[in-house]
Amino acid sequence: MAGLGTRNLIRAALVILLLPGSLEECGRIKVSAPIVRLGDPITASCIINQSCSHLGPEAQILWKLGAELQPGGRQQRLADGTQESTITLPHLNHSQALLSCCLRWGNSLQILDQAELQAGYPPATPHNLSCAMNLTTSSLICQWEPGPDTHLPTNFTLKSFKSRRGCQTQEDPITNCVPENGQSRCSIPRKHLQLYQNMSIWVQVENALGTSVSPQLCLVPMDVVKLEPPTLWALDPKTEVVPLQPGCLRLRWEPWKPGLYIEQKCELRHQPQLGETSWALVGPLPSRTLQHELCGLLPSTAYALQMRCTRWPLPGLWSNWSPSLELTTAQRAPIVRLDTWWRQRQLDPRTVDVQLFWKPTPLEEDSGQIQGYLVSWRPSGQAEAVPPLCNTTELNCTFHLPSEAQEVVLKAYNTAGTSRPTPVVFLESRGPPLGRLHTMARDPHSLWVGWEPPNPQPRGYVIEWGLGPPSPSGSHQTWRMEHNGSIAGTLLQENIRPFQLYAITVTPLYQDTKGPSQLIYAYSQETAPSRAPELHLKHIGKTWAKLEWVPEAPELGKSPLTHYTIFWTNAQDQSFSTVLNASSHDFVLHGLEPASLYHVHLMAASRAGATNSTSLTLMTLALEESELHTLLGLFGLLLLFICLCGAVRLCCRPSRKNALWPSVPDPAHSSLGSWVPTIMAEETFQLPSLCDASMPPITKITVLEEEEKKPGPWESSDSSGTCGLPTLVQAYVLQGDPKAASTPPEPQSGTSNQVLYGQVLGSPTSPGPGHYLRCDSTQPLLGGLTPSPKCYENLWFQTSPLGTSEPLVPNQEDDCVFGPLLDFPLLQGLRINGVEGLGGF
């Protein structure tokens, strides 16, 4: 209650600090219940009284549970002018929380009032109530298990009363016992007890949500007396008269002094310290003897021992177990079977070096601990003892024997004695050998060794294995003896590692002899070849190099090579490679560049992996000066030949010939008949007659005289649209078939340097004769034309004022003579263009 009052004071102080002066007594919170079951709903209301009416009718009331705003508040104004907000929390999942009623004041929330909420569970029923009478404190100590946590303040009270007739009636009550905080035990002092009278005892638990009571316990205080455990000790070996037998222990104990005059019985339990064996119980033991011998245990084994006691024959409770006492049982002579194997080496005719191996196999579960081994030999006919050949703790021994010695004796010993002697007879190899010996890898850490049993059947086998070459012979050898002679194989799992070559030897053992040993090499997991052959340069040229190598000898136990791969790289880091058969031992590199550096290496591959050789660097030979000149000459000739071929091809093409050397014939100094080409029917141009009003366009050719350079205007002589011809034109007429060759006229004297210019009118298909004009002109034949052609150069007809085309008839005074149009030989090779512009003819 004091705690609750302190929290209320702190809460009030927080409200005073947080609220302005005008809000100190503004509102108050009411809750349906301050303490509820965890997870149950709870309802709260907050009322703002009239003193806060100046806040306005629209003041909003908010709720916070801890630091989180809670939605769902319902706000209303009551008839007396106060404002009320109600909220229901559906599940209160906090064992302790603070509910706040807040008012929005500007940009912040002001707390009007707060209420502390608590949630938990009703108390569970206490169980396992037990009481014991402690003779040291003369008090009755009771303890119980309180059950799960309620999350609420809970009070425990140990209640009791004196009773008779088996606790059926209550007499004098006993003062309640309240345990300390957090404890589930309580002591009733001696002054409230009657040692030999019944008592009824129970535990009552209560908190804010309810009360529960444990079942009643009815007892007599002296019937539940609990003694303290005794103290265990080991017997002093000096006081022992009879030697301790193997597998036995002797111990003593001292009882609890206040219970010396109380009749007791005790129990002893023991457990080996090593392993997970459970405790073994021995008893009851009479407490008056104060010592005990425990047998039937494992020899030479450490044990932990504990003891407890109770009042007997009167009722009482068992004491706690005493602290552990650790003792070791006595040893026994080893009971083992010693499997032996040996190797012999003749040092000289009289002495043999013997290496003896053995392995102990326990014959019983408690066969005794072995502390060492003795190897002895007694010469025949000698009665006195001789020093042992070996006294060792190892599992092998090396010694020398005379050549006539055929047997030694091996024993295991400890402090309790020695094992039965094991004779070791050095057998000669006269038995039949094994059949086919083979191996197979099961996994990287095991090997299966199989064989075909010989006939007669052996009594057993000795299997030896160890690292093969290049490891030294006999180093790290492991061996095992198989006593079943009918088996045809065994699995080796000891000291097997991957990527290691193992030499495995199997020797059959017969009754009085042994067979020859069979050897095989094997891998539990193969690896790549240990090394690749080294490359050697045999010959080299300017563009080739011949390499050779010596194949490595096959390695024992490794899979054979499958192929070689040669890699070479030039100075530009361009890599090339080729694959060769495993039987190859040389290779020629072709296509190399002269005077170039190359790096070459060889890769040897098997099914288990690949290994690279060391890199070989080589440089090809450079070209000689004469060879360089020859190559340059050949290259120049080839280039000249290509140029000539190109020129010939260019010149022989017709389309290129005229472009390079245009042929301009001279009509005045050549036979025009020879220029007449063969004209197909479809190539004949259809030209109209000059006199026809509907004649199509015509083609004109004008030949100018180069000598006379008399510039004169080309004026129109007729206002009707006709074009006048120059006065210096001289006409000539060619008669005959237009497709036949025509004979050109002979030029006038004094005109050998003239270039003739002619004008042609008419059509080769018209019924009338064609007309030609030949005029003398001083304009050069190949001279450049004026930008705008004159009327006499391309137009023979002009449009009349009435819009009809009128032919231009040349005047007789101009010395123009007309004839058949296509009698002019050159016209047969012309292509007429611009016909569309002369549609009015």
Q: Are strands 68-70 and 61-65 parallel, antiparallel or unpaired?
A: antiparallel
- How far apart, in Å, do the first and last CA atoms of the chain sit? 139
Is residue 480 classed as helix, strand or coil in its secondary structure? Answer: strand
User: Which is more confidently placed, 841 or 166?
Assistant: 166
Closest by Cα among 489, 518, 492, 491 to 505: 518
Residues 347-389 pLDDT 10s = 888 899 999 999 998 887 777 788 899 999 887 766 666 788 9
The two tokens of residue 184 are: 């589930």
Please, is 713 exposed, middle or buried when counting C-beta atoms within 10 Å of its C-beta (0-12, 13-18, 19+)?
Answer: exposed
- Residue 540 Cα to chain centre, angstroms: 48
Res. 342: pLDDT tops 80? yes
Residues 392-419 pLDDT 10s = 999 999 999 888 888 899 999 988 888 9
The two tokens of residue 671 are: 């036979």
Residues 138-190 pLDDT 10s = 888 999 998 888 888 889 999 888 887 777 777 778 888 888 887 888 988 88
Quote the mean pLDDT of the chain.
76
Going by pLDDT thresholds of 50, 70 and 90, the confidence category of residue 773 is very low
Counted residue by residue, the chain has a size of: 841
What is the reported pLDDT for 488?
A: 92
Residue 513 near residue 460 (C-beta atoms within 8 A): no
Closest by Cα among 303, 302, 298 to 367: 298
Residue 539 near residue 546 (C-beta atoms within 8 A): yes
Res. 462: pLDDT tops 70? yes
Which of the listed ranges 371-380, 691-700, 740-749, 810-819 does the model predict with the highest average pLDDT? 371-380
Residue 374: count other Cβ atoms within 10 Å of its Cβ.
18
pTM: 0.46
Q: How far is CA 428 from each of CA 206, 512, 586, rounded to the nearest angstrom?
A: 93, 8, 52
Q: Are strands 797-799 and 805-807 parallel, antiparallel or unpaired?
A: antiparallel
Is residue 245 classed as helix, strand or coil in its secondary structure? Answer: coil
What is the reported pLDDT for 604?
A: 92
Whole-angstrom distance, CA of residue 751 vs CA of residue 732? 15
Is residue 645 classed as helix, strand or coil in its secondary structure? Answer: helix
Q: Give, for 548, the enclosing helix (H) or strand (E).
A: strand 545-549
Q: Across the strands, what pairs with 83?
A: 48, 77
Longest CA span, the chain: 188
Going by pLDDT thresholds of 50, 70 and 90, the confidence category of residue 390 is very high
Is residue 546 classed as helix, strand or coil in its secondary structure? Answer: strand
Residue 19: count other Cβ atoms within 10 Å of its Cβ.
19
Res. 760: pLDDT tops 70? no
The two tokens of residue 564 are: 């070689």
Whole-angstrom distance, CA of residue 680 vs CA of residue 75? 118
Residue 623 near residue 595 (C-beta atoms within 8 A): yes
Residues 482-537 pLDDT 10s = 999 999 999 999 988 888 888 999 999 998 899 999 999 888 887 788 888 999 99
Going by pLDDT thresholds of 50, 70 and 90, the confidence category of residue 766 is very low
Residues 558-605 pLDDT 10s = 778 889 999 999 989 999 999 999 889 999 999 899 889 999 999 999
Whole-angstrom distance, CA of residue 366 vs CA of residue 362? 8
Please, is 272 exposed, middle or buried when counting C-beta atoms within 10 Å of its C-beta (0-12, 13-18, 19+)?
Answer: middle
Residues 189-212 pLDDT 10s = 888 888 888 888 899 999 888 999
**DSSP H stretches of helix in 452-552:** none
Instruction: Give me the torsion for CA of 804, 805, 811, 817, rounded to 10°.
Output: -150
Residue 214 near residue 230 (C-beta atoms within 8 A): no
Residues 72-127 pLDDT 10s = 888 887 877 778 889 988 888 888 889 998 887 777 888 888 899 999 999 999 98
Residue 27 near residue 86 (C-beta atoms within 8 A): no
User: Which is more confidently placed, 216 or 788?
Assistant: 216
Whole-angstrom distance, CA of residue 387 vs CA of residue 393? 17
Residues 297-314 pLDDT 10s = 888 788 999 999 988 888
| Residue type, position 190, single letter | R
What is the reported pLDDT for 489?
A: 93
Whole-angstrom distance, CA of residue 797 vs CA of residue 808? 6
Q: Residue range 758-764: average pLDDT?
A: 48
Listed in sequence order, the residues at least 6 apart from 462 whose beta carbon sits closer than 8 Å to its beta carbon are: 341, 479, 480, 481, 482, 506, 507, 509
Report the percentage of the chain scoring pLDDT > 70.
71
What is the reported pLDDT for 258?
A: 77
